[in-house]
Amino acid sequence: MRDTRLQGSGRRTARPGGRREPRIVGNRTGQPVPKEPCVNTSKPAADLSQEELEAIDTLGRSRNRIRDELSKVIVGQSRVIDDLLICLFCRGHCILEGVPGLAKTLLVSTLSRVLSLSFNRVQFTPDLMPSDITGTEVIEENKATGVRQLRFVPGPVFANVVLADEINRTPPKTQAALLEAMQEHQVTAAGFTHKLPQPFFVLATQNPIEQEGTYPLPEAQLDRFMFKVLVDYPEEEEELEIVRLTTAVQEVRLDRIYDARQIETLQSLVRKVPCAEPVMRYAMRLTRATRREKGEPPTFVRDYVAWGAGPRATQYLVMAAKSRAILEERYHATIDDIRAVAPQVLRHRIVLNFNAEADGIRAEQIVEWLIRDVPADVTPGLDAVGARRVMA
């Protein structure tokens, strides 16, 4: 029987207790997974206008400039910065998770300055109310006529970049106040709808759930976040550089790279990036493989997953792959792009069961196994099309 796993997946790792995690060959019945017809239906890059091709080239170069500006304040964290840019240009929202003191808040505020975006910060606390986020109506008296009327006072959510700092420090009722804003880009108060400024980007920070004094985010709100990015401790030399910068006198002047209108244009451009049907099908297979109730899920999904990702995950996988492609000055999304963004898209959409907790299995491990074992239909030259610069 032929092994249909992705090549180069490496050795299997041992589970806690000495058991080896399952090896998936074909589907659950042991039969090879049938492959779909491998037809590259991607639009050629020539379908993009010359102006759009130049915009992609410019964005790829601008990413390095943005990194350079952020490096004046932030040491390291290049992977986190790239993930934030991918998410921003997809019109998505992002959660940054890490222990206190890793410059999560500083990174977000600095990014908004570099991109010339208005910025508001909300410190989530146990006594924070929904109206403290979205805004409220106040009674205002006209001094000339003496007539009193209600006037809406916008809350801090009315900004291009909204930092929900330590979002898991407040109860779910207040966390849910962001749902309409994140999905519809609007706020409804007293029966009236108020549009939010564009572009609109919610960036939440949170401490790991196992720390005291936190409230897990509701699943409905977690699904609204495109990415969940884990912020790690700095490397040894990076930490030494942090100490040098923060214990000396410094004056930092940041150059502005983009403005709000340019970012909106680039967000529209991301949707025009071609994505071949086999790439979309691979994204769909990854998502569907997380669901134990449907089809023939891998053994480790049946053993450890209570609930899998919904269709929104597939949409976000494809959109993030397109955004990553143009940030790397490529005109097509590839399967490698899907693999690169899969952990950020899927890790917070997979709900584990008690068996996973008992065996010490994390959502990140489930995603790693899925990337390794879910087959991809690759036509000869498909990845080359995405990796090679195709000039008009």
What string of pLDDT tens digits covers the 392 residues of the chain? 444 443 444 444 444 444 444 443 344 334 444 433 333 333 445 466 777 777 777 777 788 888 888 888 888 888 888 999 999 999 999 999 888 888 888 888 888 989 889 999 999 988 898 888 988 888 887 788 878 888 888 889 999 999 998 888 888 888 888 888 888 898 888 778 889 999 999 999 888 766 667 788 878 788 889 999 998 888 888 888 888 887 877 777 888 888 888 888 888 888 888 888 999 999 999 999 999 877 778 889 888 998 888 899 999 999 999 999 988 888 889 999 999 999 999 999 999 999 998 999 999 999 999 999 888 875 544 444 444 433 33
Q: Which tokens sit at 223? A: 């699904």
Entry pTM? 0.79
In the chain, which segments carry CATH 1.10.8.80?
35-61+272-392
In the chain, which segments carry CATH 3.40.50.300?
73-253
Check if CATH label 3.50.4.10 holds for domain 35-61+272-392.
Answer: no
Check if CATH label 3.40.190.10 holds for domain 73-253.
Answer: no
What pLDDT shows up at residue 322?
93
